[in-house]
Amino acid sequence: MAKVLTTCIYCGCGCGLYLISDRMKLIGAYPSQNHPVSKGCLCVKGWNSYEFVNNLQRLKKPLIKKNGKLQTVTWDKAIDRVARKFKEINKKHGPDALGFLSSAKTTNEENYLAMKLARAVFKTNNVDHCARLCHASTVAGLTAAFGSGAMTNSIEEFENAEVILVTGSDTTEQHPLIGSRIINAIDKGTTLIVIDPRKIELAKHAAIYAQPRFGADVAWINGMMNVIISEGLDAKEYIRERTEGYEELKELVKDYSLEYVEKIAGIPKDKLIDAARIYARAKKAMIVYTMGITQHTTGVDNVKSLANLAMLTGHVGFESTGVNPLRGQNNVQGACDVGALPDVYSGYQPVTNASIRKKFESAWGVKNLPDKAGLTVTEIIKSAGEGKIRGLYIIGENPVLSDPDSNQVRACLEKIEFLVVQDIFLSETAEYADVVLPAASYAEKDGTFTNTERRVQRIRKVINPPGQARADWQIICEVAERCGYKGMNYSRPSEIMDEIASVTPMYAGISYDRLEPFGLQWPCSTKEHPGTKFLHKDRFSKGKGTFSPRPYIPPNELPDEEYNFILSTGRTYWHWHTGTMTRRTSTLDREVPTAYVEIHPNDAQGLGIKKDDMLRVSSRRGRIELKARITEKSQEGSVFIPFHFKEAAANVLTNPAIDPIAKIPEYKVCAVKIEKL
Amino acid sequence: MKSALINKSDIRLLLKEASREWNIYAPLEVQGGDVNFCCLPKENIKEALNRVTLDDKWIPVPPKDLFFPQLESLFEIKKNKIEETVEYSKKLLFGIKACDYQGILFSDEFFKRTFQDNYYLSRTKDRLVIIKSCLTPPRQNACFCTSAKTGPFLDKDFDIQLVDIGEAYLVEIGSKRGEDFILKYKRFFKLCSNSEVDKALTVKEKAVDSIELKIDFSRAVELMKGKEPPEEIYKKIAQRCIHCGGCIYVCPTCTCFNVFDDKENEAMIRYRNWDTCVFEGFTREASGFNPRETKWLRASRRYEHKLWYDYKTTGKSGCVGCGRCLTSCPVELGMSKFIQEITA
Amino acid sequence: MKNEYIPYPAIIEAIQTESFDTRTLKVRFKDKRLRDSFDYKPGQFVEISVLGAGEAPISITSSPSRKGFLEFTVRAVGKVTKAIHKLKVGDTVYLRGPYGNSFPFEEAKNRNLLFVAGGIGLPPLRSVINMAFDNRDDFGNIKILYGAKAPDELCFKEELKIWQGIPQAEVLLTVDKPANGWKGNIGVVTTLWKKTEISPKDAIAYVCGPPIMIKFVLQKLLESGFKPDNIYVSLERYMKCGIGKCGHCNIGDKFACIDGPVFSFGQIKELPDKEREI
């Protein structure tokens, strides 16, 4: 029996836990007492994070599709096929006919290698990962405003905030160990403001809860700023010293009168005034947001508006004071940090910058790194359907369930000439693959994850992978080597981290020996740097903070007579994304075994719907059938469907319309109709 | 009661010697600085012995998983035949706290009751427990063993109990098994004098006094017996609870489990794993009917079970006062707070 | 020491379709010794496994008076029961048990028996009904009140007719939604009270069905003068282990699997109100 300290695989909280193994099987998981996030606690997913690893359905051997069927082959054959086909497509159609989807579930080292494979070996910037579907708006919006897209504060700082404003985040469900801190903070005197279209659990704990209409965020944020400015509550000195663009903001928000905001967003005037005053007057105020803000065609506008609000009140750059986009995936922060993005190398260094390219060319021993930004996740899938992307390498992602408009995604994947899927289970996406490569789970390899508070921390190998499965980093290196590239020889992941540190200023001080026991928070610029608890102290990362006033633009698809409900999608507490792990975890699967749609009691009554009735929900793109769950959590006129379930995949319905800058799809608003079956 | 002495410096030597015969489980400092019960690996015993903690350190998870693992297989199908997977080994538990030992005894009784649970009983079959009681509470304001009457010292029902009297431990022998063990390894033990026994008494009194959290346990049981606490108290708890299951997972006397199958092609394993009554699916029937559908009903279940139903069936409360439900709770709920609230 | 968690293989000999979602399986243990020695009482249940899908507690519907085989009526509602419905004659299921207490039988001798069942509640009662009929002389009159949603959903349609023909036995049926030329009573099972005389004199009542039905039947029985201790109910609870360990079926300080599933109404009244539902 061994107990190994590692980091949880689920959300961005990044709890420290011990995995317990017995005879090469995982038999349990429990929290680390000393870990700064978990502190002896875990959420239900953390407590049950061991079970799926043992599942007998794990992929154990490489597979190649022959006559339409996936058949077992040797590693040698599988790698050979991948290398040969990718080289062939590269030669025939050029590097940009290839695409790479990396994964926020794999390690920093593996994401770095994935982008290195794309860029150094195949000379394409077509590499991206699911951050595109969650916080692309944050990266674009906060980088423009502050110079960094990361959460500005640390998790431990929540308990000392005077005011916490939660919006577009179901924190207790999605970041339980942050949600719980918010609840505990209230006991110690923190005032909680929740502004969310869904009446989330935290709303019950809030001093002020306002329920805006879906997609009206820019409107109410502008309205709040209008109140703040007109009541003289703006932080004039801070604005003068640390920001630029205030006058334009002031000009824009003037139009957002209380009446106008109430009309658009449905927030009563008094509530908006109260919220604005409480937030503005607090010394230490933290904003918390997630997908409710980002997953819109106006995602970047929403983020910029929150940044405006925080800067207007001087609420960035201090302890327990800032803007905190909570990262969903365990390593979505890290996957972005190490450059699994089409426009930047590790450390957000732009591919368009010649001297940066030169640095990477010399580090990697290659020439002519591509100088134009590549395609994003959504664009890669679309291009595959158009025949432009011919070879696609997907690591640990499941776009068939996770991307909007599933039927379209399936059609695109059908068209790809050559698809490689590297995963721990045969996912819905893997069924379209020409080659399937069996990967090791988080318990079967070494590496690092970066959590939502920028904490780079270790995961550790507890047991061997099943059958012939291998760690993602090993597989990527083998593919690179088989393609004739000599620059990917590592005997262990720590060597990859050393390379990351050597080319990435914000990770420069990071090495495995310094990550004991609970990691370091970037920026960490030198081997002596202690890490950074909160960002933008004294000055913004980019110098002066920039106000970017944004006008309200309605969502891309709103209800009409036929499709008369708003659909919003997201996760439940019990499941993770496409369910490949949680639906193979008995407790979690038992709690929520089937897909459901949340509907407000008044709407249910109007349609004669009772609990557990089967409903058909249709959009212009498809339809699914699932059980009704009647709850006041849903706003009247709207329904909510979690996207975990393949048998009633929410993303069959969602709208692929994207934010023009971040290219993030509008998962949070589309129009559907409901029929009782 | 028979007593002996052992020098502190001899503890590790004793464990090393005993490891030839026993699988030894002891509180070990693990990566990250936590202290947890671990099996000392025989192949690397020296290094492991150095990590054995003799101080009164907080141990976040009780040793119940040594007998009732978080996940264990009940049987496997191999070549079309059912193969049982019952574990057995000789186990020496060193450094168990009194409260945790009471938890073990409680679970022993439960798994023996009516139908015997082979898996649990096989794991506990050859077990010797050396209690090392706390001189100071490992977690002030969480520990309340004196209120639960489970510690910090036991006066009966144990094999061996160590009392820290400075340079040495006074070794109290509480069972025949304990005595046999001492005799077998007698070279590590010395006779003790009356003055050492007296010294131990003073130590014990001081240890009892050191626990500051005082809870009116018996009044709580009385209250639960007579009338249920008002719904409002449970509803308040239910509103806070984020149903992580932590309080139950770490409870020394919580034994509920789920049973499930894993199957792929010809291979099949039936498992059981820890389950909790705070989960909605715990009582939900296939038809959808659920006698404890609302969150507050589930919140009440745990408290009523520990404080009243257990008392009714066994004469003992199911709460041993270890305080872990509080420290593992992300929103700071726990048995001590509940009792304080209902007895206030 | 017998390992209670290990199930034993049994072959499905016959499958009878009761309704669109309900079937009755007749099975025989593979092992001859077990076949002969397996002893049970009416009201007990077994844990049936479909390996890979899991295990579910199912009442034995056959009568101990008819030896060598076991019968179970299974409604396809959950993972395991759906898997059972996929099985064919000749396939293997795995059984362990019998578990739980039973309906009073010896104590009921020389008395009148009243059975009140709803839907899938008849199968557990069928065990004691047939055992009583097999010992017909030991009992007074036997009344069976049985209700279902629709005529098609009545279980044991043929057997109901046989029972009707037995002397001093009365079978009264009712459905919520009539169809197929249904000529019988329409309404919930308590509406049958108007159709026959229900007397508590020397009588024992056996009740099984969905919680809401039980609730109204109990009320009716009390109104008719039945004493709580002469009313027996088979309670349904989610169960896993069947042997009082896993904790899923606990109600107050009782386990439905070992202290039940059969409780007298007198005992039920002792259970905590908020968890009773009846």
SS3 sequence, A99-135? EEECCCCCCHHHHHHHHHHHHHHCCCCCEECCHHHHC
Nearest to A107 by CA among A494, A356, A442, A469: A442
Q: How far A615 CA sits from the closest chain B CA (Å)?
A: 17
Does A165 map to a domain?
yes
Strands (E) located in A8-72: 16-22, 25-31, 63-66, 69-72
How would you list the strands of the sheet with B257-264, edge to edge? Answer: B81-84, B71-78, B267-274, B257-264
CATH number at A578 reads: 2.40.40.20
Residue range A590-606: mean pLDDT, rounded: 97
Show which of residues 388-447 on chain A sit within 8 Å of chain B, judged by CB atoms: none
Pairwise CB contact (< 8 Å): C275 & B291: yes
What does the pLDDT read at residue C81? Answer: 96
> Subunits with at least 3 CB pairs below 8 A relative to chain A?
B
> Subunits with at least 3 CB pairs below 8 A relative to chain C?
B
- Residues of C within 8 A of B304 (CB-CB) are 272
Torsions phi, psi of A545, nearest 5? -70, 140
C19: left (phi over 0), alpha (psi -120 to 50) or beta: beta
CATH number at A31 reads: 2.20.25.90
How many CB pairs lie under 8 A apart between chains B and C?
A: 116
Among candidates C5, C272, C275 on the partner chain, residue whose Cβ is nearest the Cβ of B74: C5
Q: What confidence tens digit (pLDDT) does each residue in C113-142 have?
A: 999 999 999 999 999 999 999 999 999 999
* Residue A342, both tokens: 């089409």
> At which of A54, A78, A93 does a domain end?
A54
- Residues of C within 8 A of B277 (CB-CB) are 247, 250
**What separation in angstroms does the CA of A10 have from each of A49, A135, A292?**
8, 16, 19
Q: What does the alpha-carbon distance between residue A591 and residue B282 come to, in Å, rounded to a whole number?
A: 8
- Residues of C within 8 A of B256 (CB-CB) are 246-248
Show which of residues 140-199 on chain A sit within 8 Å of chain B, judged by CB atoms: 172, 176-177, 179-181, 183-184, 187
Pairwise CB contact (< 8 Å): C275 & B297: yes
- Residues of B within 8 A of C3 (CB-CB) are 84, 86, 118
Does A639 map to a domain?
yes
Q: Is the Cβ of B289 closer than 8 Å to some Cβ of chain C? A: yes
| Chain C interface mutation, best of B78, B79, B270, B300, highest count of C Cβ atoms under 10 Å | B270
Q: How far A650 CA sits from the closest chain B CA (Å)?
A: 23
Pairwise CB contact (< 8 Å): C250 & B305: yes
Among candidates C211, C248, C253 on the partner chain, residue whose Cβ is nearest the Cβ of B289: C211
Q: How far C88 CA sits from the closest chain B CA (Å)?
A: 19
Per the document, the length of chain A is 677
- Residues of B within 8 A of C244 (CB-CB) are 113-115
Say whether both A67 and A50 belong to one domain: no
Say whether both A468 and A348 belong to one domain: yes
Q: Is the Cβ of C259 closer than 8 Å to some Cβ of chain B? A: no
Residue range A615-636: mean pLDDT, rounded: 97
Residue range B237-247: mean pLDDT, rounded: 95
Does A541 map to a domain?
no
Q: How far B121 CA sits from the closest chain C CA (Å)?
A: 10
Does A309 map to a domain?
yes
Domains of chain A: total: 4
Give the chain C residue nearest B285 (alpha carbons): C238
Say whether both A44 and A75 belong to one domain: no
Would the pLDDT of A537 be above 90? yes
Q: Is the Cβ of C241 closer than 8 Å to some Cβ of chain B? A: yes
> Subunits with at least 3 CB pairs below 8 A relative to chain B?
A, C
Q: Is C102 helix (H, G, I), strand (E, B) or coil?
A: coil
> At which of A513, A545, A580 does a domain end?
A513
Average pLDDT value over all residues in chain A: 97
Q: Are strands C169-175 and C142-148 parallel, antiparallel or unpaired?
A: parallel
Say whether both A275 and A303 belong to one domain: yes
**What separation in angstroms does the CA of A475 have from each of A83, A478, A490, A593, C155?**
11, 5, 12, 34, 58
Domain ranges of chain B: 2-210, 217-343
| Full domain range(s) for residue A157 | 152-326
Q: Is A86 helix (H, G, I), strand (E, B) or coil?
A: helix
Among candidates C1, C6, C55 on the partner chain, residue whose Cβ is nearest the Cβ of B82: C6
Residue range A425-431: mean pLDDT, rounded: 95
* Residue C198, both tokens: 């229900």
Q: What confidence tens digit (pLDDT) does each residue in B268-315 have?
A: 999 999 999 999 999 999 888 899 999 999 999 999 999 999 999 999
What does the pLDDT read at residue B288? Answer: 87
Can you say how many angstroms the Cα of residue B139 is from the centroid of all Cα atoms in its chain?
A: 16
Torsions phi, psi of B219, nearest 5? -65, -40
Residue range A396-406: mean pLDDT, rounded: 92
- Residues of C within 8 A of B289 (CB-CB) are 210-211, 236
Pairwise CB contact (< 8 Å): A18 & B34: yes
Q: Is the Cβ of C76 closer than 8 Å to some Cβ of chain B? A: no
Does A534 map to a domain?
no
Say whether both A387 and A268 belong to one domain: no
Say whether both A273 and A304 belong to one domain: yes
Does A556 map to a domain?
no
Buried b (16+ CB within 10 A) or exposed e, C23-55: bbbbbbbeeeeebeebebbbbbbbbbbbbbbbb
Pairwise CB contact (< 8 Å): B262 & A54: yes
Q: Is the Cβ of B76 closer than 8 Å to some Cβ of chain C? A: no
Among candidates A179, A587, A612 on the partner chain, residue whose Cβ is nearest the Cβ of B288: A612
Q: How far C130 CA sits from the closest chain B CA (Å)?
A: 27
- Residues of B within 8 A of A46 (CB-CB) are 244
Would the pLDDT of C277 be above 80? no
CATH number at A362 reads: 3.40.50.740
Q: How far B261 CA sits from the closest chain C CA (Å)?
A: 5
Show which of residues 28-57 on chain C sit within 8 Å of chain B, judged by CB atoms: 49, 51-56
Say whether both A253 and A352 belong to one domain: no
Say whether both A111 and A178 belong to one domain: no
ipTM reported for the complex surpasses 0.90: yes
Q: How far C245 CA sits from the closest chain B CA (Å)?
A: 7
Pairwise CB contact (< 8 Å): B264 & A57: yes
pLDDT confidence bin for C278, thresholds 50/70/90: low
What SS3 string covers A561-629?
Answer: CCCCEEEEEECCCCCCCCCCCHHHCHHHHHHCCCCEEEECHHHHHHHCCCCCCEEEEECCCCEEEEEEE
Q: How far B236 CA sits from the closest chain C CA (Å)?
A: 17
Q: How far B248 CA sits from the closest chain A CA (Å)?
A: 11
* Residue C13, both tokens: 């000999």
Say whether both A288 and A339 belong to one domain: no
Say whether both A156 and A226 belong to one domain: yes
| Chain B interface mutation, best of A21, A41, A42, A48, highest count of B Cβ atoms under 10 Å | A41
What chain C holds in terms of domains, given with CATH numbers, is: 8-99 (2.40.30.10), 106-234 (3.40.50.80)
Q: How far B191 CA sits from the closest chain A CA (Å)?
A: 36
- Residues of B within 8 A of C77 (CB-CB) are 286-287
What does the pLDDT read at residue B339? Answer: 94
Q: What confidence tens digit (pLDDT) does each residue in A159-210 have?
A: 999 999 999 999 999 999 999 999 999 999 999 999 999 999 999 999 999 9
Say whether both A181 and A310 belong to one domain: yes
Q: Is the Cβ of B136 closer than 8 Å to some Cβ of chain C? A: no
Residue range A323-341: mean pLDDT, rounded: 97
Q: What does the alpha-carbon distance between residue A75 and residue A62 come to, in Å, rounded to a whole number?
A: 6
Pairwise CB contact (< 8 Å): B309 & C253: yes
Pairwise CB contact (< 8 Å): A176 & B263: no
What does the pLDDT read at residue B228? Answer: 75
